[in-house]
Amino acid sequence: MSEVLLVYGDEPQRMEEVKGAFLTSYTTLNVRMFDSESSPRSICEAMNEQSLFGDVSVLYIANPPIIKKTAKQSLGEWQQVYDALLTYNGESPILLMYHESIDKRIQANKALLAAIRHEECHKLKGQELLTWVTVYCKKNGYTITRDGMLYLQHVLELWQDVPVSFLRTEFDRYFLQLGKTKKITEDFLRENSSDYGAKNIFAFKDALLQKNAAVLMELFPFMLSYKEIDRALSYIESQLRLQLMVSECRAYGMSEAETVAYMKDNGSTVKPYPIKLAYSAARSVTIHALAGLLRHLYEIIRLGRMGEGQLIRVRDACLTYCLSEEEKI
């Protein structure tokens, strides 16, 4: 009996990787293509063909309508394909690609998944995404340093849905740039990351804490045009709130390690790396002015969706902070 594999989910890049690995296992075989427009009868005939001369083919079936969306849904003429897969013992390897999630509560779907090998490719988030990056770099002969991984984790926090395809394109470019240098560092990532929204938002936050009014003015047109400005400002507000807490800890004489431990002991879920950045920035922070800026941002965010007038208020509040004098810490 040949292998049958069902690959499904909402992460196309990972699905392509699994598909590639499967087809690589059968490089000596031809591939016969089918999809949802194909005749179910022709697919069943291909599954039942007996090879007399060893000319077996891989049967590749894209998005076959054999997955039920509701328990009462009828598969119609595709029922014969579904039934054939449940008891398949033919010679041809079969690869099924289904670009959606599968409701495993439906009995028919559950029976199919129990009968054939399957792999779910859901969108990666958090640690799963970082693990993918680590594995992809290792596969290509590169490693990310600890500070590079911490920086990448910090950058990805702003993005709710980071496509694996985007990261693959990014890191393929890094590999070309690095050449024989096999380590990817924080400095390299800061210097060479694509100029996507999150990077500019980080630059805006950093310029604000450094009281660099010139850079803020350069970035503000971007902030005005950024399509997810509400989320961006919420992120900046959360980072400034973290900065205020860390700056106050430093003002009380606590070390960076003591600050990390203190925040963890008091229920904070913030990772050590953002605390490290905030502790380093604390020397130039004006605590009472930062608290005032946060009050302005709270009020602006509370008013609701950002309009240009409210964003001008954000700009003015940020520039006012830049003019505040440093406190001796």
- Which tens digit of pLDDT belongs to each residue from 229-279? 676 777 788 888 899 999 999 999 999 999 999 988 888 888 888 888 888
Domain 4-121 bears CATH identifier 3.40.50.300: yes
Which pLDDT score is estimated for 219? 80
Which pLDDT score is estimated for 328? 42
Q: Is there a shared CATH topology between the 4-121 domain and the 197-322 domain?
A: no
May I ask the CATH class of domain 197-322?
mainly alpha
Closest CA to 275 of 321, 249, 242, 310: 242
List CB contacts of 182: < 8 A, sequence separation 6 or more: 141, 142, 143
Domain boundaries, the chain: 4-121, 127-192, 197-322
Give me 247's structure tokens.
């700056």
Residue 321 to residues 198, 199, 213, 302, Cα–Cα distance (Å): 22, 22, 9, 20
Spatial separation of the C-alpha atoms in residues 215 and 222, rounded to whole Å: 12
Note the helical H segments in 185-226: 186-192, 197-209, 213-225
Q: Please name the fold of domain 127-192.
A: Helicase, Ruva Protein; domain 3 (1.10.8)
Give me 88's structure tokens.
């398949």
**What rounded mean pLDDT belongs to the chain?**
85
Q: Is the predicted pLDDT of residue 53 greater than 70, yes or no?
A: no
Spatial separation of the C-alpha atoms in residues 39 and 30, rounded to whole Å: 20
Nearest-10 Cα torsion for 261, 264, 268, 273: 60
pTM: 0.60
Which pLDDT score is estimated for 102? 93
Query: Which segment, 72-81, 118-127, 300-309, is predicted with the most confidence on average?
Result: 72-81
